Structure 1
Amino acid sequence: MTASRIALVTGANQGLGRALVEGLAARLGPQDVVLLTGRSQQRVSEAAREVARADGTRSRVEGRVLDVSDREAIGRLAGELSTRHGGVDIVISNAIARLLPEDSQAGRADEFIDVSNTATHAILRSFGPVLRTGGRLLVVASTLGTLGHLDPRLHHLFDGASLDEVEYAVESWRAAVHAGTAAEAGWPGWLNVPSKVAQVAAVRAVAAERREGDRADGTLIASVCPGMVDTATSRPWFSDYSHAQSPSRAARAVLDLVLAEQVEPDHYGELVRFGKVLPWYSGTPPTEQDRILTP
């Protein structure tokens, strides 16, 4: 990476995203810049100010408003950072729409898909080209992102797919949810499963196109599972969260991956959990009784 690094985290004013910003600001140098982004100007400003003043912070922390459901806003920010800094060194796509157990899955589908999937596609398209040599672009997913968690009838939509094809599959899923035909097509009622599979598939698609050049210059594009994290988003789904990690603890393994001096070749384009690759074809489709957030 370059002497002066630019890092950006989405969904970063609270929870895991904020912990990732705190960790980056503590582990990068005084010449580096960490951008804390979120939708609310007030929350972003407050969080950035608190992190900047915290003990152990070494890097400059800047708050930036970014609604990840706005693809044009993502593109503008990538263009601005390219013009201003010559690109970015670290991008962590972490934003997720909060979904409660009592919420209607179909009723929240558009917001959930826009924040988790449309945003992932836009970040990969906009920040991939401005990622500097030796950079890191990670998408936060989960173990639910392995292909085996989907009905086998749907595997062909994501296995070996291009980014365009992943986007088409996601929009087909969205349309089926609205039409009330998702279940008969094999889509699970729980939004988190196809969303995570699609996120990992999108990363795999972009990585497949860039693999040779990125592996030659030490650039890493991957998806990452932080494990079970005790946050406001995840807590309502657990009857027992006593073994969940704090956001700061969960951030450590992600940051170790981001800040490793050398990229493990096997990590490139894969879903990585605690430094280990999760096999793409693993997992079994969940039942309705399995509607919990799986680490």
Structure 2
Amino acid sequence: MTTSRIALVTGANQGLGRALVEGLAARLGPDDLVLLTGRNAGRVTDAAREVAGLPGTVSRVEGRVLDVTDTDAVAALADELRGTYGGVDIVISNAVARVLPDDSQAERADEFIDVSNSATHAVLRSFGPVLRPSGRLLVVASGLGTLGHLDPRLHPLFDGATLDQVEYAVESWRTAVHNRTAQEAGWPLWLNVPSKVAQVAAVRAVAAERRTRDLADGTLIASVCPGMVDTATSRPWFSDYSGAQSPADAASAVLDLVTAEGVDAAQYGELVQFGKVLPWHDGTPPTAQDALLKP
């Protein structure tokens, strides 16, 4: 990568997203710009100011209001960065909707799918074309994003799918949730499972179309699993947090992938955790967790 790099992180007001911004601002150079984005203008402004004032910050840090569920806003920001800077070098799609264990999964489905999936599709569609050579476009997913975590009946919807087909599958899932036919069709109650599988499938779809030229110019598109992170979003789901990482520690492994010299072809388009690829077809459908959730 060259100097004057432009980096952008979504869902960056707090938690892992903010740690990713802090890490980028410490690892990139003084001529580089890191954009901290989120929906709430006040929180974005405060977070950007605080990160800019940290002792380890080297790069410029600016806050930008971005609602990732607004497809037009995502596209407009991508167009702006292309017009102003000629593109973008690093994009980390990290936004997620917070859902608590006692929440009705069905009632929260639209918000969760909009933030985790529709937004991921928008980021891939809008920022993929403006990613400069040697760039990095990463989607933060989870180890639940491998295909084996879904009922085998659903595998054909995502295995080898195009981005259009992934979007169609996600909307079919959304409709099934609203029609109360999701379980009958094999969809798990826990929204996080199909959502993460769909995120990884979307990345795989885009990567499959770009693979040859991206590898030729050192560009990486991948999904990443940061592991268990101690954040307000994830803490309510676990009784034992002894193995959880701080957001800063979790961000470090992701940023190692961002700042690595060259691209490992084995990681391109895949789900990567701590530098290792999680095989797409691994995993088993979770059933114990589903039994604890409200429909």
Q: TM-score, normalised by structure 2?
A: 0.98
Alignment of 1:106-117 (within 5 A): 106-117=106-117
Counterpart of 2:125 in structure 1 is: 125
Counterpart contact for 2:189–2:290, Cα < 8 Å: no
Q: Distance in 1 between matches of 2:86 and 2:288?
A: 48
Q: 1:123 to 1:224 in 2, by over 3 A?
A: same
Q: Percent identity at matched positions? A: 80
Counterpart of 2:178 in structure 1 is: 178
Shift of 1:15: 0.1
Q: Which runs of 4 or more aligned residues in structure 1 lie more than 6 Å from their structure 2 counterparts after TM superposition? A: none
Shift of 1:75: 0.3
Shift of 1:291: 7.4
Shift of 1:213: 0.1
Q: Distance in 2 between matches of 1:170 and 1:86?
A: 32
Shift of 1:261: 1.1
Say which SS state the counterpart of residue 99 (structure 2) adopts.
coil
Counterpart of 1:245 in structure 2 is: 245
Say which SS state the counterpart of residue 64 (structure 1) adopts.
strand
Counterpart contact for 1:139–1:203, Cα < 8 Å: yes
Counterpart of 2:165 in structure 1 is: 165
Counterpart contact for 1:190–1:291, Cα < 8 Å: no
Q: Distance in 2 between matches of 1:291 and 1:70?
A: 33
Shift of 1:211: 0.2
Alignment of 1:43-192 (within 5 A): 43-192=43-192
Shift of 1:14: 0.1
Q: Distance in 2 between matches of 1:24 and 1:112?
A: 27
Say which SS state the counterpart of residue 193 (structure 2) adopts.
helix
- Unpaired runs of 5+ residues, structure 2, are none
CA deviations on 1:42-81 (whole Å, 9 max, x unpaired) are 0000000000000010000000000011111000000000
Counterpart contact for 2:37–2:64, Cα < 8 Å: yes
Say which SS state the counterpart of residue 266 (structure 1) adopts.
coil
Say which SS state the counterpart of residue 113 (structure 1) adopts.
helix
Counterpart contact for 2:69–2:114, Cα < 8 Å: yes
Counterpart of 2:17 in structure 1 is: 17
Counterpart contact for 1:20–1:251, Cα < 8 Å: yes
Instruction: Give the residue type in structure 1 aligned to 2:163.
Output: L
Counterpart of 2:256 in structure 1 is: 256
- Unpaired runs of 5+ residues, structure 1, are none
Say which SS state the counterpart of residue 289 (structure 2) adopts.
helix
Q: TM-score, normalised by structure 1?
A: 0.98
Q: Distance in 2 between matches of 1:44 and 1:291?
A: 37
CA deviations on 1:9-61 (whole Å, 9 max, x unpaired) are 00001000000000000000000000000000000000000000000100000
Counterpart contact for 2:16–2:250, Cα < 8 Å: yes
Q: 1:8 to 1:99 in 2, by over 3 A?
A: same
Q: Distance in 1 between matches of 2:268 and 2:72?
A: 28
RMSD between superposed Cα atoms in Å: 0.9
Counterpart contact for 2:190–2:290, Cα < 8 Å: no
Shift of 1:242: 1.7
